[in-house]
Structure 1
Amino acid sequence: MSTTATGPGPRWLGGAAQLAVAGVLALVVLPVGWTSVVEGEVARPWRWALLAALAALHLAVATARRWPVASFAVGALAELVLVTAPDLGGPTATAAGSEYAPVLLPSSLCFFVLLYAVSAHAARPWPTAALVGGLVGCLLTVVRLWGFAGTALESWTWWLMLSTATVGGTVAAWALGRFRATRAAWIAQLAEQGAADERRRIAREMHDVVAHSLAVVVSHAEAGRLVVAQSPDRASGILATIAGTGREALTEMRGLLGVLRDDEAPTDPQPGLADLPALVERMRTAGLTLEYDAPDLATEVPAVPPGVGLTAYRVVQEALTNVARHARPDAVVRVVVDRPADALQVVVTDDGGAPAVAAAPGRGLTGMRERVEAVGGTLETGPVASGWRVSARMPV
């Protein structure tokens, strides 16, 4: 199992930023610590151990983005060497007024960077384990520096300042890392939700286009099989309707596929209220008995948002497709479009008997409801008298 949590953004960019941080820290604080150890008048084994610990700290910072847990472990061991090593003497100690513990070297600040990295980029339970390890390190540092005499502060003031600085820095670095990890997870969840919503939207569009077009094509094909033998002159009209329906479906599907491919070329506009009369006429040609009651959509209906217009069109399309598939052949369908104040209402009723989808709503009714709710509207579907009713009301 991976120990790192992937955050947003290019991975190479995160690695480059981490290398930049490591480089700045090495240039600013490493020369001081390195010189202090070399001139620190300690035994040679300790000198080599301290130099190795300083180098390990800065190298761990450089690799913390890619291997946060391993880098933190290396840094923690290096800090342990600095805490347990004997006091340093030499010119730096003379300038400070007394010998001092190596943990006071500026390179110890690298530990906070390592703690941030493991809390931001490592998977559970490593962030919590790193915090516990950091707090234990704070305790060891306070104990190690308890009697430090290189300051004019009183003992209790020095103890309070030291405890606040170590614990506060540790908790702050850990909290910043957890904030970064939480933010990255939240952004990733939003992206996944957006992708899921887009997949559902495309699935609804594909269902509406394919189901409607196939319903028209199948009904014409069945009618043609029965009537062409007796009236060959009607064959051209039936075939023309099938071809026109297929072309329309292909046009809409090309638009959807263009969105999936992220084409820069403009796609055909989505249908809206102005296309309802053509839809009704096409379904009449397919064999449905239709009554259409709507004001003049070009002059009497105020403009509605494109999303609301598309939703109204798809609701009528899906409702008529369900009638063609589930109702009796002699069913009479009534489509009513109304424009009350601040709303658009579409009602489709038929007297063809309650369809089987009444007991178990399928993808069509579910997608219809999702469409309407997405624009802030409400959808009511169910049997009425001897037929079925679909009513959608959407704010505009």
Structure 2
Amino acid sequence: MTATVTVTGPGPRWLGDAAQLALAGLLALVVLPVGWTAVVEGEVATGWEAALLVALVAVHAAVATARQWPLASYAVGAVAELVLVAAPDLGGPTATAAGSDYGPVLLPSSLCFFVLLYAVSAHAPRPWPTVALVGGLVGCLLTVVRLWGFAGAALEGWTWWAMLGTATVGGTVAAWALGQFRATRLAWVAQLAERGAADERRRIAREMHDVVAHSLAVVVSHAEAGRLVVAQSPDRAPEILETIAGTGREALTEMRGLLGVLRDDEAPTDPQPGLADLPALVERLRDAGLAVEYDAADLATVPPGVGLTAYRVVQEALTNVARHARPGSGARVRVDRDPDGLRVVVVDDGGPPAAGAAPGRGLTGMRERVEAVGGSLEAGPVGTGWQVSARMPL
């Protein structure tokens, strides 16, 4: 059985929503009381006081819904930030502590805007992350212009402007970049999962092809031979029918094992065949009328994945001989070790495929299977027949 890689996604949606609510609650608990007190004691007109309080509540509420509705939350937060930028300077005790009146945009609740920008960048489809970034940069410009003459800053002139511009632009770009990183990572994880699913589908398709093609070849061979033999030797009918029934049962067992991986339950499946099953495979082909010589070294320590691949290569190669070679053709199977690993060779004397015939799905499946375990496969005419040779590292 080939190895599979499990890719872990970002987790349940409800867990992310719960974390977003927890973040919103933490921000509201830590920074909202400071801003609320500063506005209430800020000595501004009643209308502006009400507008500022609504803006503060809105920007914190937008954080709570940013994961579920990133665009709507960002729009609410952007409008709230515009109110903070446009409002007159705040006075009162906090202004006295700061050294002068200051713009409400300096309230700590403005940091919530970075969370909203991150949410759009991480969760919204294109082109909204870019639109949100442009909006954030415009907001940075408005903030710098609004706070240009802030007299309470310890730094003055271009130094204050440079610090303010770096903080606002840097925070905006950083929030957007972090959101893009998360979106890119999730897309990459989804692509890995999709690729893994596609690889698994191809693997199952190869297995199904090998099982069905081999079993049908044996059944058809026995049925055709039985039609001729039974007329002359009726006593052989039970033997031929039993071989057909046994081949069908074995095919059904392998198909159930393959299709079991597609079910959601954890029902055990039958083990996949390996090198130890090659003698039985060869015997079935012999019973079907194909003369097969089999020679194998001691291969007890071959990994299961390599053993399954070798089994499928021999199975497909012998099935092709039974289906396409001249009547009375024979085949030789050799499985042994060499310095490069495991070597599998199947040679027949039944003549090459018809001129101009395109490689079938079976040959393509064999090559893909061997390459999946790090090996290589060669197939082509040799002498009066056809040879398939595979090498797989151990």
TM-score where L is the length of structure 2: 0.94
Kindly provide the CA deviation profile for residues 249-269 of structure 1, in whole angstroms up to 9, marking residues without a partner as x.
Answer: 122112112222254343322
Check if 1:253 corresponds to 2:255: yes
1:336 is aligned to 2:334: yes
Of 107, 110, 128 in structure 2, the residue corresponding to residue 105 of structure 1 is 107
Q: What is the CA–CA distance in structure 1 between the aligned matches of 2:257 and 2:105, rounded to whole Å?
A: 65
Change (3 A) 1:283 1:357: farther
How do residues 9-28 of structure 1 correspond to structure 2 at under 5 angstroms? 9-28=11-30
Tell me the secondary structure at the aligned position of residue 393 of structure 1: strand
Deviation of the 1:159 alpha carbon:
1.6
Task: Indicate the residue corresponding to 1:391 in structure 2.
Answer: 389
* Cα separation, 1, equivalents of 2:225 and 2:146: 95
The alpha-carbon deviation at position 157 of structure 1 amounts to: 2.4
Shift of 1:283: 0.4
Q: What residue in structure 1 maps to residue 43 of structure 2?
A: 41
Q: What is the CA-CA distance between 1:338 and the residue it aligns to?
A: 2.4
Tell me if the contact between 1:358 and 1:383 (Cα under 8 Å) persists in the aligned partners.
no
**Structure 1 residue 21 displacement after superposition:** 0.8
Given candidates 184, 208, 211, the residue that maps to 1:209 is: 211
For 2:310, give the aligned amino acid: A
1:376 partner SS: coil
Aligned positions of 1:349-388 closer than 5 A:
349-356=347-354, 359-388=357-386
Query: Quick one: which amino acid aligns to residue 385 of structure 1?
Result: G
How big is the shift at 1:330? 1.4
User: Match for residue 225 of structure 1?
Assistant: 227
Offset, 1:60: 1.0
Take 1:333 and 1:151, find their aligned partners in 2: how far apart are those partners?
Answer: 91
Measured in 2, the distance between the counterparts of 1:96 and 1:375 equals 69
The two structures, once aligned, show a CA RMSD in angstroms of: 1.6
Of 241, 244, 258, the residue aligned with 1:242 is 244
- For residues 255 and 300 of structure 2, the distance between their equivalents in structure 1, rounded to whole angstroms, comes to 29
Within 1, Cα distance between the matches of 2:154 and 2:348? Answer: 93
Shift, 1:310, TM fit: 0.6
Gaps of 5+ in 1: 1-6
Output the amino acid matched with 2:270.
Answer: D
SS at match of 1:216: helix
How many angstroms does 1:358 deviate by? 6.8
Query: Which of 44, 55, 58 is 1:56 aligned to?
Result: 58
Cα distance in 2, alignment partners of residues 51 and 263 from structure 1 = 55
Residue identity in the other structure for 2:317: A
Residue 130 of structure 1 corresponds to which residue in structure 2? 132
Q: What secondary structure sits across from 2:338 in the alignment?
A: coil
The alpha carbon displacement at 1:384 in A equals: 2.5
| CA distance in structure 2 between the partners assigned to 1:266 and 1:333 by the alignment | 36
Counterpart check, 1:30 vs 2:32: yes
**Given residue 31 of structure 2, which amino acid in structure 1 is its aligned partner?**
V
CA distance in 1, matches of 2:49, 2:355: 82
Question: What percent identity do the matched residue pairs reach?
Answer: 84
Total equivalences in the alignment: 386
- Structure 2: 5+ residue stretches without partners: 1-8
Question: Does the 8 Å contact 2:275/2:299 carry over to 1?
Answer: no
> How much has 1:141 moved relative to structure 2?
0.6
Range 253-262 or range 21-30, more displaced: 253-262
Distance 2:354 2:73 in 1: 63
Question: Partners in 1 of 2:287 and 2:199 — Cα distance?
Answer: 35
Amino acid at match of 2:100: S
Alpha-carbon spacing, 1:358–1:311, altered in 2? closer, same or farther (3 Å)? farther
Question: What amino acid is the match of 2:73?
Answer: S
CA distance in structure 1 between the partners assigned to 2:93 and 2:279 by the alignment: 94
> What secondary structure is seen at the aligned counterpart in 2 of 1:337?
strand
Q: Distance in 1 between matches of 2:340 and 2:386?
A: 27
Would you say the 8 A contact 2:340–2:391 is kept in 1?
A: no
Deviation at 1:359, TM superposition (A): 2.8
8 A Cα contact 2:122 2:182, kept in partner: yes
Letter in 2 for 1:168: G
Preserved CA contact (<8 Å) 1:120 1:180: yes
Paired with 1:372 and 1:158, the residues of 2 have a C-alpha distance of 66
In 1, distance between residues paired with 2:40 and 2:356?
A: 85
Q: 1:115 aligns to what?
A: 117
Cα offsets for 1:190-224 (capped at 9, x unmatched):
11111111111111111111111111111111111
Residue 151 of structure 1 and its aligned partner are, at CA, apart by 2.3
1:356 deviates by 4.8
TM-score of the superposed pair, with normalisation by structure 1? 0.94
Distance 2:107 2:213 in 1: 73
Deviates more, 1:104-113 or 1:383-392: 383-392
CA distance in 1, matches of 2:303, 2:265: 24
What is the deviation of 1:18?
0.9
Give the residue type in structure 2 aligned to 1:366.
T
Secondary structure, aligned partner of 1:229 = helix
Partners in 2 of 1:354 and 1:346 — Cα distance? 19
Question: What's the offset of the Cα at 1:226?
Answer: 1.6
Cα pair distance change 1:61/1:13, threshold 3 Å: same
Distance 1:78 1:280 in 2: 78
Partners of 2:331 and 2:349 within 8 A in 1: yes
Aligned residue for 2:6? none
Contact residue 342 and residue 392 of structure 2 kept, 8 A? yes
* 1:92 aligned residue (91, 94, 103): 94
